[in-house]
A = this chain, B = another copy of it.
């Protein structure tokens, strides 16, 4: 199991780096300065896990291991130094899908391992995967993934639900994680390739000023 654990640790840092790069990208779009690059990268990279740890009462992970912060700052520096062409952007979107799927599973797994109720563990998986990006968008004054009909949060929900359900059915941790990760990533990949989106509220909406 040793090599798998080491591989997971690397995957964890890779996922943080990808999220952080997406934060720096939002800063690049608005021509922000290097400090804002770093701030956006850090918020996006560790924001979801931070909320999860606060909610479940665990010590906040990056406060104890600031290597995660360093990874965010390096990612911000890389975006600043190398910029982003259209090709790199596409790569980033795919890496972001991998990070989202990984974090939906990791977040739920960390919560379950601390004895959190399965329903709440699903929420922790979803928040770990999506909250950093939501804060990034609010800070950057961009329309958040929350406000678009993209299949992103949906894929995180699916991954976390599948993981918690399979663990509940006493499947081994690794199989549950692998299947859940593949499900979340698969749905997100299909949605990106086929430009799927969720339907908006079909009903009559009450007026704005109500």
User: Are B84 and A199 neighbours in the complex by a CB distance under 8 Å?
Assistant: no
A27 at the interface (CB under 8 A from B): yes
Q: How far is the CA of A30 from the CA of B206 in the complex (A)?
A: 10
How long is the Cα–Cα vector from A84 to B205 in the complex, in angstroms?
A: 6
Give the contact stretch, choosing among A10-18, A32-40, A177-185, A186-194: A32-40
Question: At the interface, yes or no: A7 with Cβ under 8 Å from chain B?
Answer: no
Contact B146 A39 (CB under 8 A): yes
Whole-angstrom CA separation of A34 from B200 in the bound complex:
7
Closest residue of B by beta carbon distance from A63? B120
Instruction: Verify B32–A157 contact, CB threshold 8 A.
Output: no
Cross-chain contact A33 with B117 (CB below 8 angstroms): no
Q: Is the CB of A59 within 8 A of B60?
A: no
Chain B residues lying within 8 Å of A31, measured Cβ to Cβ, are 200-201, 205
Assess whether B56 is in contact with A54, with CB atoms less than 8 Å apart: no
Q: Does residue A171 face the partner (Cβ distance < 8 Å to B)?
A: no
A60 and B124 CA atoms in complex are apart in Å by: 13
User: Do residues A119 and B205 form an inter-chain contact, with CB atoms below 8 A?
Assistant: no
User: A89 — which chain B residues lie within 8 A by C-beta?
Assistant: 206, 210
In the assembled complex, the CB of A188 is this many whole angstroms from the nearest CB of chain B, namely: 13
- Determine the distance from Cα of A117 to Cα of B191 in the docked complex, in whole angstroms: 41
The answer to the question of A85 belonging to the interface, with a C-beta cut-off of 8 Å to chain B, is yes
Residues 1-55 of A contacting B (Cβ, < 8 Å): 25, 27-37, 39, 42, 50, 54-55
Residues of B contacting A208 with CB < 8 Å?
Answer: 29
A29-B206 in contact (CB<8A)? yes
Instruction: Find A203's partner among B54, B83, B117, B153 (CB 8 Å cutoff).
Output: B83
User: Which residues of the other chain, B, contact A83 by a CB distance below 8 angstroms?
Assistant: 203-205
Contact (Cβ within 8 A) B57 A59: yes
Q: List 8 A-B contacts (CB under 8 A).
A: A31-B201, A32-B200, A36-B149, A37-B201, A63-B117, A66-B123, A138-B138, A139-B147
